[in-house]
C-alpha cells in the first residue's frame, strides 16, 4: 500500500509525470499493482498525492524508464482503475494524423509476453508487450523505426499503438486494404472504431470467439469507456467489420470518407493519458489548483530540466532523441495551455 500525501508545488520538482484518477478520490491509501506474465505484482514505482478538491494524482519521477511497464492498476476497496503510464507529451504530435496520411498507422494488438532473444533493444522483452493478432512482421531492426508509441494499454489484454517506419508504406497499405483481421488505421478514431466493432461482434447475436474480438471487448471494459464515449466512437463511419456484416464485397478495404478527429474523441484520449505537467491535467479538469501558479512553476522547472539534460547527455543516442522530443513537446503543451488551445 502507498500513502496518499497532500499535494504541494514542491512535488513538481521531484516528480515528472502525473496521472489523474477518474474514479478513485478522497482516498488515504492505494494499492498499486503491475500485471506481468508472472502475475499481479505490488509495486512502489509511483507515489500518490491528494488535491484540495479530493482528486488524486498518481506521480512518478522518471517517465522514460517507467513507461515500458505500459500501465498499472490502482485499487481502493472495491474500486479499480487503470493508470496509463504513457504521457500526453509522447502523443501530442501523433494523435491527430490526417485521414489522407501516407505514413504511420495506429494498430490494435494483442498483449502477450515478449520473447525476443535476438532483439535485446526491446525494453518490453520478457514483459507484456504488443504482438499482432495475426502473423505479420512489422519491424525487423531498430533502425527501421521512426516513431513508436504505445498510446493506450491494458497489460495482458491489448495495446493501441502508433508506429511509423522506414520504407513500410507497402506493408501498411496492404494491412489497410487487404488485412484478413482488420486492426489497423491511419487515424486514431478509425482504429478506435475498429476496436469497437470487434467488441460488438463478441456479443450477442454474433458471439465471435476470435481472440481479437474477445480482447477488444475486454479492452473497452478495462478502460471503463462510458456509454457516452462509445457513442462518440460510433460516430465514425462504419469500418471493415461492420461493412463485412453488411455484405460489402470490399469489406477488407479501408473505407472512403473516414472522418477527421473531433474534440470529443480528443477528450476521450486525453482523459486517459498521463501528463508531464499538472497544469495540463488542471486545464482539462478545472478545480484542482490555480492554473497560472502551476504554469509559472512548471515553465521554470522545464527550463531547469532542459539545462540539466544538455549538461549530462550526449547528442545522438536513442535516449537523447526520445528525451529531446519529450521536452520539446512539454514546452509545446505548456504554450498551448497558456494560449487556451490545448
Rounded distance, CA 228 to CA 234, Å?
Answer: 10
Question: In the structure grid, which three cell numbers stand for residue 243, read together?
Answer: 461493412
pLDDT band, very low/low/confident/very high, at 127 (cuts 50, 70, 90): confident
Per residue in 192-213, pLDDT (tens digit) is 999 999 999 999 999 999 999 9
In this structure, of 7-16, 175-184, 315-324, the range with the lowest mean pLDDT score is 315-324
Domain ranges in the chain? 2-85, 105-270, 291-338
Which of 66-70, 111-115, 190-194, 305-309 is most confident?
190-194
Rounded distance, CA 31 to CA 135, Å?
Answer: 37
**Main-chain phi, psi angles of 79, to 5 degrees:** -90, 135
Query: Dihedral through CA 112, CA 113, CA 116, CA 117, nearest 10?
Result: -170
R_g of the chain computed on alpha carbons? 20
Per residue in 94-118, pLDDT (tens digit) is 999 999 999 899 999 999 987 766 6
Per residue in 244-285, pLDDT (tens digit) is 999 998 888 999 999 999 999 999 999 999 999 999 999 999
Amino acid at each position: 500500500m502507498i500513502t496518499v500525501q497532500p499535494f504541494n508545488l514542491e512535488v513538481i520538482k521531484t516528480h515528472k509525470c502525473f496521472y489523474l484518477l477518474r474514479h478513485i478520490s478522497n482516498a488515504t491509501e492505494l494499492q498499486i499493482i503491475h500485471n506481468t506474465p508472472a502475475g499481479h505484482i505490488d509495486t512502489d514505482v509511483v507515489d500518490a498525492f491528494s488535491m484540495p478538491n479530493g482528486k488524486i494524482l498518481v506521480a512518478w519521477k522518471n517517465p522514460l524508464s517507467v513507461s515500458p511497464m505500459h500501465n498499472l492498476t490502482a485499487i481502493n476497496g472495491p474500486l479499480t482503475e487503470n493508470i496509463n503510464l504513457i504521457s500526453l507529451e509522447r502523443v501530442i504530435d501523433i494523435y491527430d494524423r490526417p485521414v489522407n496520411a501516407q505514413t504511420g498507422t495506429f494498430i490494435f494488438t494483442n498483449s502477450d509476453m515478449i520473447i525476443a532473444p535476438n532483439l535485446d533493444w526491446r525494453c518490453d522483452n520478457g514483459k507484456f508487450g504488443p504482438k499482432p493478432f495475426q502473423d505479420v512482421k512489422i519491424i525487423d531492426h531498430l533502425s527501421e523505426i521512426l516513431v513508436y508509441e504505445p498510446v493506450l494499454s491494458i497489460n495482458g489484454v491489448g495495446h493501441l499503438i502508433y508506429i511509423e517506419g522506414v520504407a513500410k508504406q507497402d506493408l501498411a497499405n496492404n494491412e489497410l486494404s487487404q488485412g484478413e483481421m482488420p486492426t489497423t488505421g491511419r487515424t486514431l478514431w478509425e482504429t478506435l472504431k475498429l476496436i469497437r466493432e470487434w467488441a460488438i461482434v463478441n456479443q450477442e447475436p454474433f458471439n465471435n470467439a476470435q481472440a481479437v474480438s474477445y480482447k477488444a471487448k475486454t479492452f473497452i471494459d478495462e478502460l471503463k469507456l462510458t456509454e457516452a464515449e462509445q457513442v462518440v466512437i460510433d460516430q465514425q463511419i462504419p469500418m471493415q467489420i461492420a461493412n463485412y456484416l453488411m455484405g460489402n464485397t470490399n469489406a477488407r478495404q479501408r473505407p472512403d470518407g473516414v472522418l477527421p478527429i473531433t474534440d470529443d474523441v480528443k477528450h476521450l484520449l486525453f482523459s486517459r493519458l498521463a501528463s508531464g505537467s499538472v497544469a495540463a491535467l488542471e486545464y482539462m479538469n478545472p478545480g484542482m489548483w490555480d492554473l497560472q501558479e502551476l504554469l509559472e512553476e512548471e515553465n521554470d522547472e522545464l527550463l531547469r530540466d532542459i539545462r540539466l539534460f544538455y549538461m549530462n547527455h550526449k547528442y545522438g543516442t536513442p535516449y537523447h532523441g526520445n528525451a529531446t522530443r519529450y521536452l520539446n513537446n512539454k514546452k509545446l503543451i505548456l504554450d498551448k495551455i497558456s494560449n487556451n488551445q490545448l
